[in-house]
Amino acid sequence: MGVTRTPTPTTQGSETTGGIGESTLRPDGVLKTTGEFAYASDLWHEDMLWGHTLRSPHAHAEIVSLDVSRALAQPGVYAVLTYDDLPTDVRHYGLEIQDTPVLAHGRVRHHGEPVALVAADHPETARRAAAKIRVEYRQLPVVVDEATATAPDAPLIHEGRTDHHSGHVPHPNVVHRQPIVRGDADAAARRADVIVTGDYEVGMQDQAFLGPESGLAVPAEDGGVDLYIATQWLHADLRQIAPVLGLPEEKVRMTLSGVGGAFGGREDLSMQIHACLLALRTGKPVKMVYNRFESFFGHVHRHPATLHYEHGATRDGKITHMRCRIVLDGGAYASSSPAVVGNASSLSAGPYVIDDVDIEALALYTNNPPCGAMRGFGAVQACFAYEAQMDKLAAALGMDPVEFRRLNAMSQGAVMPTGQVVDSPAPVAELLRRVKAMPMPPEREWESAGGGVDVRALPGGLSNTTHGEGVVRGVGYAVGIKNVGFSEGFDDYSTARVRLEVIAGEPVATVHTAMAEVGQGGVTVHAQIARTELGVTQVTIDPADTRVGSAGSTSASRQTYVTGGAVRHTCQAVRERVLELGRAKLGTHHPAWATAELLLESGKVVTDDGEVLAGLAEVLGDEAIDIEREWRHRPTEPFDLRTGQGRGHVQYSFAAHRAVVDVDTELGLVKVVELACAQDVGKALNPLSVVGQIQGGTTQGLGLAVMEEILVSDRATVRNPSFTDYLIPTILDTPPIPVDVLELADDHAPYGLRGVGEAPTLSSTPAVVAAIRAATGLALRRVPVRPENLTGT
């Protein structure tokens, strides 16, 4: 299957150290190890107040009365705000549909919905004052799943919908529905020798970024406000904040502060508008920091899903058709549910060649916690189900599960269910081959110390629950497909401003974008791109803010592609300007100025033969070149609302996993022994960061497989909003993660790169569950897998 293509050759900057392809170190790394890096929760201002949010204890209730007088009377309290205090008639916000109230108006639709705000001189004073606000609720019946949401007498979560999806959904409690029909699944099913069906469920996962929601709003003399904030997309926040405040966008100046992880959970607004409202009301700076409990209510989660799948195959192992129905629980507000539906439906067939499909995906409005973006974004849920189906099909045919997948794997030129042709490398079979070929971890490692038993290598670990009795090993495989970038016709551009000047005799490039650095390492990559494109050593990365054009979201594995693309594009414009200046100033000195291909290398203008024409200092003199440019990737188009056909995605990315687990079958405890990954990244701009992304994404998939779920009561209230009760993998839960990085260039992308961050989160989960199935023989149709699912107790 050896698809062998070399990454796009890079001529410009190939002599430059610290350019693309090198594992340069993070520019913020040192500050993050000394404790000096300023996260949003670390900000401090003279005279600042602390904001606090009063939230609904009920999932669905009418607010009968609201009395803030006792809170206002508390010493140290500067302001208490409710819906009635909002300054304009724009009182809702939302990423796609403006359905989310800034503060509840007469009704709450989910547990933890913001009802009132308090500003006080100490966080504890604010908390205690909030507790003195009297809210009388009358509880309403809750809508919690598809049956209750679409029942004839179901309460409508949002009455009188007028959003752009309201006209085509089958019920007002359905946010969006996307069917995809291609070929003839009924006819193809008649060719099948085996047909397997399955019903699967994915629990509600939390992003669990470590740095809680926080920010500081500082009122300005011009009546505006300066907001320092941890977010994923400054300009999308701005677009939602300014109208609610009644301010023009230029009077809401936003600066990114340190962001402690995001994973999709900071796409939606949390405390942004609230802090600004309190600051403008009190005339004082207001800081808001959620604690972990509040954070669980402060952001959307991964959609829980129920998925029904049917696949058929011929005896020789070719998939004939696929039918599926995916129901996503979007909770009380839309957030990015429509786009998650688009992803879940369009990626529901996985990285396989299936010509005849009948697909339906939809998201519900319910009274459960709102769900939206999380790493993997609709593709995670589908991947868990279709990969379970692949193992079932292979078993029904008596075939090896990896060989069965390889036989049906898509490759470049394949057609997606949407009709879109995959027009760059799609090395699915090769990734499976590579991950299977990796060396296996040793068996019974707990005995390797000699003599005794090292319980740390066993399921249950230091709980000392077994010395190997009842422990069974299993191995499982999975592969997945994720889109990169914003899809369905969205104008997914980015902006970069690049300045080149000579400082103290040395050329220095300054890169200014609004890209949210959330930990992914975009700032590292921007400096590498500038070094490569401008042939300089010194690169300064300016803080991200709204003084420069939008960078789009740090989401959808897109920032290296899109903002990286914008930095490259702008650097190229700067380079052209350098050469123009050089020709004007020095063109008569050497004929090569007019005739040769010129490059910038090591601070000099050189010919492609390596002859030095001039130093940058000589060319630039006192002049600074300063250019801001937008950059766009190839446009996409919406999916047809009936057939789902359309060139909807920018790029696809692929990863495969092999999981090795030891299961204590008596207690139902799982130890993941190793989780190997092979991924195609097109071109690794920073190999160290690429591997870090793959290992981090893999671990979040492991969490979904065996640990992580937000539990919701039958009254739709959250039962486990803490790190005591919502468990994410520790270093003891996480195995070695060997990574095999493949680099097959995508000719449509800058440097041939492929978005990296999300694909590893997809296949990790089904690989782990496949391994547990192999160890136990159980069907396991739901994640996370719990001990009682393995012991039957």
Partner 1 sequence: MRVTFTVNGRRQEADDVWEGESLLYVLRERMGLPGSKNACEQGECGSCTVRLDGVPVCACLVAAGQVQDREVVTVEGLADFAKERDTGAAGPGTDPGAAQRWQPRPAGPATELSPVQQAFVDAGAVQCGFCTPGLLVAADELLERNAQPTDADIREALSGNLCRCTGYEKILDAVRLAAARTGTEA
> How many angstroms separate the first and last alpha carbons of the chain?
46
522 is a site residue for partner 1 (CB under 8 A): no
Residue choice 7, 13, 26, 664 for contact with partner 1 (CB under 8 A): 26
Nearer to partner 1, 424 or 528 (CB): 528
CA separation for the pair 142, 159 (Å, rounded): 15
519 is a site residue for partner 1 (CB under 8 A): yes
CB 503 within 8 A of CB 702: no
Nearer to partner 1, 55 or 323 (CB): 55
Residue choice 2, 35, 450, 451 for contact with partner 1 (CB under 8 A): 35
CA separation for the pair 467, 754 (Å, rounded): 44
CA separation for the pair 216, 226 (Å, rounded): 8
CB 373 within 8 A of CB 486: no
The residues that bridge with 219 in the sheet, in sequence order, are 225
Min. distance of Cβ 296 from partner 1 in angstroms? 11
209 is a site residue for partner 1 (CB under 8 A): yes
CA separation for the pair 78, 49 (Å, rounded): 8
506 is a site residue for partner 1 (CB under 8 A): no
Using CB under 8 A as the binding rule, the residues of this chain from 261 to 290 that contact partner 1 are 261-263, 289
3-state secondary structure 177-227: EEEEEECCHHHHHHCCCEEEEEEEEECCCCCCCCCCCEEEEEECCCCCEEE
CB 215 within 8 A of CB 271: yes
Nearer to partner 1, 76 or 787 (CB): 76
Q: Which residues, 6 or more positions from 72, have their beta carbon under 8 angstroms from its beta carbon?
A: 80, 129
Candidate ranges 13-21, 129-137, 610-618, 728-736; the one touching partner 1 (CB under 8 A): 728-736
Residue choice 212, 331, 370, 564 for contact with partner 1 (CB under 8 A): 212
521 is a site residue for partner 1 (CB under 8 A): yes
Min. distance of Cβ 517 from partner 1 in angstroms? 9
Instruction: Tokens 């929601």: give the residue.
Output: 213
Residue choice 145, 454, 545, 740 for contact with partner 1 (CB under 8 A): 454
39 is a site residue for partner 1 (CB under 8 A): yes
448 is a site residue for partner 1 (CB under 8 A): no
Q: Is-cis flag, bond preceding 141, omega within 30?
A: no
Nearer to partner 1, 275 or 518 (CB): 518
SS3 assignment, position 166: coil
Min. distance of Cβ 673 from partner 1 in angstroms? 13
124 is a site residue for partner 1 (CB under 8 A): yes
- DSSP classification of residue 148: H
CB 285 within 8 A of CB 216: yes
Min. distance of Cβ 232 from partner 1 in angstroms? 12
Number of residues that bind partner 1 (CB under 8 A): 64
162 is a site residue for partner 1 (CB under 8 A): no
Both structure tokens of 408: 């049906």
Min. distance of Cβ 30 from partner 1 in angstroms? 4
Residue choice 5, 105, 171, 292 for contact with partner 1 (CB under 8 A): 292
- DSSP classification of residue 588: G
Min. distance of Cβ 33 from partner 1 in angstroms? 4
Residue choice 82, 282, 381, 699 for contact with partner 1 (CB under 8 A): 699
Count of CB atoms situated within 10 Å of the CB of 68: 24
Residue choice 10, 14, 23, 607 for contact with partner 1 (CB under 8 A): 23
Candidate ranges 1-9, 98-106, 210-218, 784-792; the one touching partner 1 (CB under 8 A): 210-218
Instruction: Tokens 């066993």: give the residue.
Output: 458
151 is a site residue for partner 1 (CB under 8 A): no
Residue choice 6, 73, 122, 597 for contact with partner 1 (CB under 8 A): 122
CA separation for the pair 535, 17 (Å, rounded): 9
Query: What torsion, rounded to 10 degrees, do the Cα atoms 127, 129, 130, 135 define?
Result: 150
765 is a site residue for partner 1 (CB under 8 A): no
CA separation for the pair 471, 458 (Å, rounded): 8
Residue 154: HSE in the Cβ half-sphere, 13 Å Cα cutoff: 22
Candidate ranges 20-28, 166-174, 303-311, 585-593; the one touching partner 1 (CB under 8 A): 20-28
520 is a site residue for partner 1 (CB under 8 A): yes
Task: Give the x-and-dash track for 625-664 against partner 1 (CB under 8 A).
Answer: ----------------------------------------
Of the candidates 56, 111, 115, the residue with the CA atom closest to the CA atom of residue 81: 115
Bridging pattern class, strands 107-108 and 61-67: antiparallel
Task: Give the x-and-dash track for 65-104 against partner 1 (CB under 8 A).
Answer: ----------------------------------------
- DSSP classification of residue 643: T
Residue choice 367, 698, 763, 765 for contact with partner 1 (CB under 8 A): 698
CA separation for the pair 767, 677 (Å, rounded): 10
Task: Work out whether the CA dihedral 8, 14, 17, 18 comes out positive or negative.
Answer: negative
Rounded to the nearest 5°, which phi and psi values hold at 565?
A: -65, -40
Query: What torsion, rounded to 10 degrees, do the Cα atoms 569, 571, 577, 580 define?
Result: -90
Both structure tokens of 415: 């057609």
730 is a site residue for partner 1 (CB under 8 A): yes
Q: What single-letter amino acid sits at 646?
A: G
Min. distance of Cβ 690 from partner 1 in angstroms? 10
Nearer to partner 1, 298 or 696 (CB): 696
Nearer to partner 1, 224 or 697 (CB): 697
Candidate ranges 337-345, 397-405, 514-522, 600-608; the one touching partner 1 (CB under 8 A): 514-522
Min. distance of Cβ 520 from partner 1 in angstroms? 7
737 is a site residue for partner 1 (CB under 8 A): yes
Task: Give the x-and-dash track for 466-505 against partner 1 (CB under 8 A).
Answer: ----------------------------------------
37 is a site residue for partner 1 (CB under 8 A): yes
Nearer to partner 1, 155 or 692 (CB): 692
CA separation for the pair 791, 793 (Å, rounded): 5
462 is a site residue for partner 1 (CB under 8 A): yes
CA separation for the pair 421, 399 (Å, rounded): 29
3-state secondary structure 651-664: EEEEEEEEEEEEEE
Instruction: Tokens 């991950």: give the residue.
Output: 435
List b or e across 189-204, with b for residues whose CB sees 16 or more CB atoms inside 10 angstroms. beebebebebebebbb
Nearer to partner 1, 50 or 631 (CB): 50
Residue choice 695, 740, 781, 791 for contact with partner 1 (CB under 8 A): 695
Residue choice 537, 723, 781, 782 for contact with partner 1 (CB under 8 A): 723
Q: Applying CB under 8 A, which residues contact partner 1?
A: 23, 25-39, 41-42, 44, 122, 124, 207-212, 258-263, 289, 291-292, 454, 456-457, 462, 518-521, 688-689, 691-692, 695-700, 722-724, 728, 730-732, 734, 736-737
